[in-house]
Structure 1
Amino acid sequence: MTTLPENPQPRRTESATATADAPESRQAESRPNPPRGRAHQRGSASQSRLVWRAFRKHRLAMIGAAVTLLLYLVAAFAEFLAPFSVARFDQAHPYAPPQRLHVVDTSQGGWEFGLYVNGYVAGRDPDTLERVYRVDTSKKVRVRLFDRGEEYRLWGLVPSRIHLVGPVDDREPMYLLGSDRSGRDLLSRLVYGTRVSMTIGLIGVTMAFVLGVVLGGISGYFGGRTDTLIQRAVEFFMSVPTLPLWLGLAAAVPSGWGPLRRYFAITVILATFAWTDLARVTRGRFVSLRVEDFISSARLDGNRPARMIFRHMLPLFTSHLIASLTLSIPGMILAETALSFLGLGLQAPVVSWGVLLQAAQDVQVVATAPWLMLPGVAVVLAVLSLNFVGDGLRDAADPYRQ
């Protein structure tokens, strides 16, 4: 006789399980999909946004970017920011020391608001016959913002006479950063020099960038004899001593050329030997990418070599190219400054940081007028800022950086 269990449990078959789970599946299907709004956007970000997020965390890079942007704004609005033109001089005030800009006048026992600088009293040292200046607190040269001074054309197009700061009486001396041996305002010349020195780096690097990317891409993509020929040319340019060759080519520029032609000649000379490193890097990247499966698929799909290079291969290391471009600009600025300082680069009447530093070649002049070294401070500031920006971009674009 067979005994049955006291509490029999019914066996759950697969059909019963499917029947029991059916309402839940129907409920799951009937639920609306979650909205693909901001939450979905947070989960995925473009490469440029990821690079920007990493770049913002680099404090020195952010400071360098701010300083670099400020320098290029100064270069863009040089006529407006400079109190005077580069040609204005005053033989009565050679090597005049910098004047302190005052905001509040308390000499009369009260508080009088208004911009002014104190005047000079020039004289001769009885022992050394050196020209010396003494601050005359009784004489005040009134200064105002948005002064109507010398006429100029902003960007060569817009006529204007408004300067950011200037003396109320143009005949009064105002040298916020001192003057040179001809009594020319160093602040105005430094502002105009920023335009030349910062733009010569951009133009030269752009030319070198195009040469390096195009030749390096062709060398790495096609290979064979083309690769061999381009790489031998790269090795030849890299084996030539850069500084002596720069000096020789700059000295070969005809002295009768005008400032504009000489400017572009120096730019071409600097760019001629600045493309080799980028060409080698680009060639190495193309050699490693041309064997990838997606490149083979694109080639079998009928894409032309130009589309393969610029559409499928270059975008993969665009961030690296931008970082290399940023790090190359300081080298161009230093090269132009060195050539102009030695008298083989840009020459007067063109004003650049290197041309301004020619006045600092005499140690005695520097000892009596140390403010003539301020263009060197501008060079150091620009180079450091651009290097910080380049380092930040390189770290932000590195996919293997933790």
Structure 2
Amino acid sequence: MNSPLPAPGAGLGHYISTAPFDPLSVEAMTEEQSQVYQASQLKLMWWKFKRHRVAVASGIFLAALYLMILVCEILAPYNLHTRNMDFIYSPPQRVHFFSDGQFIGPFVYGRQMTLDMDTLKRNYSDDRSQVQPIRFFCRGDSYKFWGLVESNIHLACPAENGQLFLLGTDRLGRDVLSRIIYGARISLTIGLVGIAFSFVLGIIIGGLAGYHGGVFDLIVQRVIEVLQSIPSIPLWMALAAIMPVTWSPILIYFGITLILGLLDWTGLARAVRSKLLALREEDYVLAAQLMGAKSSRIIGRHLIPGFMSHLIATATIAIPGMILGETALSFLGLGLRPPITSWGILLTEARGVSVIAFYPWLLFPMIPVILVILAFNFLGDGLRDAADPYR
């Protein structure tokens, strides 16, 4: 006996989660029920994904970050290499709006520095006689936009002859906030480029192993088991250490990306193999074989698109591992090297216990790393749930 249709007043979310509709009762459906019944798989995935509010918020947050890296020169208050030698290890400045009960707008107070002769620590205090309004859409340090176009336009700038260190400065007087913004371009893109390598390798190797099986499948499985049994960090360190020191920063960047991609394809390959082992027995695969279709066409045009949504969700969850890998290698001094700046390189400034005790704001680059990793994990969970036809 067919189960009754949901009430006409029910929302779309109720229809998505219920059993499939009876085709014989299409005429009795309401407009909303008909939309759900006739919706494509992609649209159903989108409806289910929108119900995962944390995943949606994570996706918006990551999209904003990736848009930010396109204009990081404009968003950063200072140039990447600008040094303020009079304000070495300056703590973060607070933004104020009122001075002596009068509204001025966003501003910071000037800084006075004294040196503690016992600990040699620089102590900074606010000089309330120096009110320095923050300028917006202003001219400041010059830079080359994407290394091509000369410009000096910034979203926010310090006052004339003033300072603006919202997250403090490092041992060379460089603004930490500006360096975090510039470092996002490297740390965020290295995960995307790395996953592109592993995505191609995982689909090709896992697809061939799952479709053909036999000796090739056996060899692939043993290779995957060996690679997955080796601790990741020591293996990354060993491969990164063999890169010549004479390589340019760009070559080091692509070398680290290639290493991360070559070592992260195993999980994706296993997922592809397991899916193809099940799908290769379907009738449409046999029909394609009888029509003379090649293995590459059957895998690429018929099998892979059938579970591409699962692959995208798997790749989304794999990106945080690559970002953490680059951060760990750079923190240990075996990854990217200056003048390239990433969040891992910025964290090398806080390797000493005394530095952390005296200048804790040097740990601020750790905050975007944590937020990005959490956002990718939440986004991956939402995509995986939306792509799962059994949920």
Q: Deviations over 1:234-273 (max 9, x none)?
A: 2332233322111111111111211101011111111111
- Aligned runs of 1:192-207 on 2, under 5 Å? 192-207=182-197
Q: Deviations over 1:104-127 (max 9, x none)?
A: 3433x543x333210101002354
Runs (5+) with no aligned partner, structure 2: 1-26
User: Root-mean-square deviation (CA), in Å?
Assistant: 2.0
1:154 correspondence with 2:148: no
Q: Identify which of 57, 64, 67 aligns with 1:73.
A: 67
Match of residue 165 from structure 1: 156
Match of residue 285 from structure 1: 275
- Aligned to 1:77, the other structure's residue is in SS state helix
Cα shift at 1:40:
5.1
**1:147–1:167: 8 Å Cα contact kept in structure 2?**
no
**1:91–1:182: 8 Å Cα contact kept in structure 2?**
yes
Counterparts of 2:181 and 2:196 in 1: how far apart (Å)? 23
Counterparts of 1:139 and 1:114 in 2: how far apart (Å)? 14
**1:190–1:353: 8 Å Cα contact kept in structure 2?**
yes
Q: Deviations over 1:135-182 (max 9, x none)?
A: 11111223211111123333334443211101232x422211100011
Match of residue 135 from structure 1: 126
State the percentage of identical aligned residues: 48
- Aligned to 1:121, the other structure's residue is in SS state strand
- Aligned runs of 1:3-402 on 2, under 5 Å? 41-102=35-96, 104-107=97-100, 110-111=102-103, 113-125=104-116, 127-169=118-160, 171-401=161-391
Counterparts of 1:325 and 1:155 in 2: how far apart (Å)? 28
State TM-score, norm by structure 1. 0.86
Higher-Rg structure is 1
- Aligned to 1:359, the other structure's residue is in SS state helix
Cα shift at 1:41:
4.2
**1:357–1:375: 8 Å Cα contact kept in structure 2?**
yes
Q: Deviations over 1:330-362 (max 9, x none)?
A: 000111111111111112211111000001111
Cα shift at 1:222:
1.7
**1:336–1:354: 8 Å Cα contact kept in structure 2?**
yes
Q: Deviations over 1:191-237 (max 9, x none)?
A: 01111101011111110111001110011112223323333332332
Cα shift at 1:281:
1.3
Amino acid at match of 1:106: S
Runs (5+) with no aligned partner, structure 1: 1-32
Counterparts of 1:110 and 1:382 in 2: how far apart (Å)? 39
Match of residue 13 from structure 1: none
Counterparts of 1:40 and 1:370 in 2: how far apart (Å)? 58
Match of residue 6 from structure 1: none
- Kindly tell me: are residues 94 and 45 of structure 1, through their superposed partners in 2, closer, same or farther at Cα, counting changes over 3 Å? same
Counterparts of 2:242 and 2:322 in 1: how far apart (Å)? 19
Q: Deviations over 1:37-90 (max 9, x none)?
A: 998545311111111111111122112112211221222211111111111001
Counterparts of 1:238 and 1:288 in 2: how far apart (Å)? 24
Q: Deviations over 1:311-330 (max 9, x none)?
A: 11011111110100100000
Counterparts of 1:160 and 1:88 in 2: how far apart (Å)? 15
**1:145–1:165: 8 Å Cα contact kept in structure 2?**
yes
Counterparts of 2:32 and 2:291 in 1: how far apart (Å)? 37
User: Which sits farther off after the overlay, 132-141 or 221-230?
Assistant: 221-230
Q: Could you list the structure 1 runs, at least 4 aligned residues long, displaced by more than 6 angstroms after superposition.
A: none
User: Which sits farther off after the overlay, 210-219 or 240-249?
Assistant: 240-249
